[in-house]
């Protein structure tokens, strides 16, 4: 019997969980934190976190991905008197960019993995391994599993969450089965490791991969991953195929190059289907249903649409009108429309810029300048983030394509659009090495210099 997706069951479960949460008031005053209230969940976590007495404006950054790491470094670089605290629930950094190359054994895991302690020590800020659990904007206090932290400025850079509901998955049990057995691989190192093991142990049949709709992390990556998986299957002589179901009506970026790679290198392995948005998933039958057809699979990597991290919604920062649950922020300054002391950057921000590592890195430098200028009563001109992306299509040696682009505001469309685009769809070993050198330079900048 197939396991159907049940919206009503999901909503009932969510409502029950919400009703079960209990608030217990409490407070703790200190010299530095005069107005700390207990978090709504109720605990003794209102006690101040163990931090040195601040000596200047304190900026607390939630999320130590490409955006948060860059933000912490450059805040200290632009204003050495600032007190910068970076926190993340993870204890070490494993990069999502370049992970497809690791899946295909073109780099080792050490290349992707770096120490938050090293980053903080080398760049002069404080790192805390903690989870943000509540926010009091009126009292400018963030509550974490390590205690309460008073801030002058707060930067939310928590990344993404998956939105399985947008492909019809409303039953939490079904969602958890998908997360465990068919992980997307764009939100944790464990997911990427599971996918690598999945591909290494795939011995035939149909390996299903999907491409979501909307603005997802990272636009070219699902197509690149299909190429890397196909290269591994070809190398191992696996008799099987990769069925790449794209919810969009065409390849989203580098379309000519990917289409050519599919036909020239992997014609007998990759079967690409566009306009194949998922409408139902029948887990027990190993079947995906789309608007036009049903597809059987032996194993799968299912990448659902994404949304901004749920912590934004939990803290009351998400815009209800946003399809991806992003915050309503000033598109040029990145702060909340009603709070110039709370900023949202990286993959959770609302501008339609690419959700790539380089984009997050470049915009974080700019927003660090914005925050420093605000603290000093100054203004700076808007500067476009830069998107730079390398996509591997062939391995041993790694051969890649690339794109570099900026953004401008289109007055006619009233939206941001690409500007100054340099697209290289002819892949080469030189571009493959350039992509690895780019990543090495980014890691050096965020962690070691």
Q: What is the CATH number of the domain that holds 91?
A: 3.50.50.60
Looking at the domain assignment, is residue 442 inside a domain?
no
DSSP state of 49: P
Strand partners, 282: 287
Looking at the domain assignment, is residue 440 inside a domain?
no
Instruction: Give the pLDDT of residue 45.
Output: 72
Can you tell me the distance from the alpha carbon of 288 to that of 296, in angstroms, rounded to the nearest whole number?
7
Domain finish residue from 381, 399, 423: 381
Q: Are residues 170 and 94 in the same domain?
A: no
CA distances from 442 to 153, 212, 407, 445, 449 (A): 25, 27, 21, 5, 10
Q: Are residues 69 and 139 in the same domain?
A: yes
Domain finish residue from 306, 338, 362: 306
CA distances from 419 to 385, 387, 397, 442 (A): 11, 10, 32, 23
Q: Are residues 143 and 168 in the same domain?
A: no
Domain finish residue from 257, 285, 306: 306
Looking at the domain assignment, is residue 138 inside a domain?
yes
Strand partners, 113: 94
Q: Are residues 168 and 302 in the same domain?
A: yes
Bond before 228 cis per omega within 30 degrees: no
Residues of the chain with pLDDT under 50: 1-39, 41-42
Q: Are residues 154 and 176 in the same domain?
A: no
Looking at the domain assignment, is residue 5 inside a domain?
no
Q: Are residues 194 and 324 in the same domain?
A: no
Can you tell me the distance from the alpha carbon of 76 to that of 171, in angstroms, rounded to the nearest whole number?
45
Q: Are residues 172 and 287 in the same domain?
A: yes
**Tokens, residue 136:** 């009091």
Can you tell me the distance from the alpha carbon of 95 to that of 109, in angstroms, rounded to the nearest whole number?
9
Cβ-contact 371, 333 below 8 angstroms: no
- Number of domains into which the chain is organized: 2
Looking at the domain assignment, is residue 15 inside a domain?
no
Cβ-contact 163, 306 below 8 angstroms: yes
Instruction: Give the pLDDT of residue 61.
Output: 98
Cβ-contact 119, 112 below 8 angstroms: no
Q: Are residues 215 and 289 in the same domain?
A: yes
Please report which helix (H) or strand (E) contains residue 430, including its range. Answer: helix 429-443
CA dihedral 427, 428, 430, 434 (to 10 degrees): 30
Residue 447 region by backbone torsions, left for phi larger than 0, else alpha for psi between -120 and 50, else beta: alpha
Strand partners, 418: 407
Q: Are residues 291 and 326 in the same domain?
A: no
Looking at the domain assignment, is residue 253 inside a domain?
yes
Cβ-contact 147, 38 below 8 angstroms: no
Can you tell me the distance from the alpha carbon of 198 to that of 309, in angstroms, rounded to the nearest whole number?
26
Instruction: Give the pLDDT of residue 44.
Output: 60
Instruction: Give the pLDDT of residue 300.
Output: 98
CA distances from 3 to 6, 45, 287, 292 (A): 9, 41, 11, 20
Cα of 227 vs its chain's centroid, Å: 21
Cβ-contact 274, 246 below 8 angstroms: yes
DSSP state of 403: E
Give 149-204 as a 3 state SS string. Answer: EECCEEEECCCEEECHHHHCCCCHHHHHHHHHHCCCCCCCHHHHHHHHHHHHCCCC
Looking at the domain assignment, is residue 217 inside a domain?
yes
Strand partners, 129: 88
Looking at the domain assignment, is residue 72 inside a domain?
yes
Q: Are residues 178 and 248 in the same domain?
A: yes
DSSP state of 281: E
The parent domain of residue 248 ranges over: 164-306
Can you tell me the distance from the alpha carbon of 161 to that of 187, in angstroms, rounded to the nearest whole number?
7
Instruction: Give the pLDDT of residue 15.
Output: 40
Q: Are residues 170 and 296 in the same domain?
A: yes
Can you tell me the distance from the alpha carbon of 146 to that of 45, in angstroms, rounded to the nearest whole number?
7
Instruction: Give the pLDDT of residue 29.
Output: 37
Question: pLDDT tens-digit profile of 399-411?
Answer: 999 999 999 998 8
Q: Are residues 170 and 265 in the same domain?
A: yes
Cβ-contact 122, 72 below 8 angstroms: no
Q: With H, G, I as helix, E, B as strand and everything else as coil, classify residue 386.
A: coil
Residue 216 region by backbone torsions, left for phi larger than 0, else alpha for psi between -120 and 50, else beta: beta
Can you tell me the distance from the alpha carbon of 185 to that of 196, in angstroms, rounded to the nearest whole number?
10
């Amino acid at each position: 019997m197939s396991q159907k997706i049940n919206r009503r069951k999901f909503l009932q479960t969510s409502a029950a969980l919400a009703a079960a949460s209990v608030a217990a008031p409490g407070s703790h005053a200190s010299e530095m934190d005069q107005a700390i209230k207990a978090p709504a969940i109720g605990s003794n976590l209102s006690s101040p976190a163990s931090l040195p007495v601040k000596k200047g404006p304190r900026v607390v950054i939630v999320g130590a991905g490409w955006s948060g790491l860059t933000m912490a470094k450059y805040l200290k670089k632009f204003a050495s008197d600032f007190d910068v605290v970076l926190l993340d629930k993870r204890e070490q950094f494993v990069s999502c960019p370049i992970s497809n190359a690791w899946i295909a054994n073109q780099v080792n895991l050490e290349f992707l993995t770096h120490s938050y302690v090293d980053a903080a020590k080398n760049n002069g800020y404080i790192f805390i391994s903690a989870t943000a659990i509540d926010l009091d904007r009126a009292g400018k206090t963030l509550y974490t599993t390590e205690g309460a932290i008073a801030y002058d400025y707060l930067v939310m850079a928590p990344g993404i969450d998956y939105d399985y509901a947008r492909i019809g998955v409303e039953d939490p049990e079904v969602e958890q089965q998908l997360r465990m057995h068919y992980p997307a691989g764009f939100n944790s190192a464990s997911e990427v490791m599971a996918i690598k093991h999945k591909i290494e142990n795939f011995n035939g049949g149909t390996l299903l991969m999907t491409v979501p709709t909307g603005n997802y992390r990272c636009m070219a990556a699902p197509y690149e991953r299909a190429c890397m998986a196909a290269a591994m299957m070809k190398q191992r002589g696996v008799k099987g195929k990769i069925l790449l179901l794209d919810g969009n009506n065409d390849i989203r970026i580098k379309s000519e190059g990917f289409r050519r790679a599919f036909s020239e290198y992997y014609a007998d392995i990759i079967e690409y289907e566009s306009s194949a948005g998922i409408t139902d998933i029948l887990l027990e039958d190993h079947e995906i249903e789309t608007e036009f057809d049903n597809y059987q699979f032996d194993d799968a990597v299912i990448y659902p649409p994404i949304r901004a991290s749920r912590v934004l919604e939990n803290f009351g920062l998400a815009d209800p009108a946003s399809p991806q649950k992003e915050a309503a922020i000033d598109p040029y300054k990145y702060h909340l429309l009603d709070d110039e002391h709370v900023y949202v950057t990286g993959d959770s921000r609302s501008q339609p810029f690419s959700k790539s590592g380089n984009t997050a890195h470049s915009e974080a430098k700019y927003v660090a300048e914005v925050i420093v200028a605000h603290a000093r009563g100054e203004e700076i001109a808007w500067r476009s983030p830069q998107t730079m992306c390398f996509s591997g299509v062939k391995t041993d040696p790694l051969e890649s394509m690339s794109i570099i682009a900026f953004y401008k505001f289109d007055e006619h469309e009233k939206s941001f659009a690409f500007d100054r685009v340099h697209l290289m769809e002819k892949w080469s070993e030189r571009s493959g090495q350039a992509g690895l050198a780019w990543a090495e330079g980014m890691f050096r900048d965020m962690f070691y210099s």
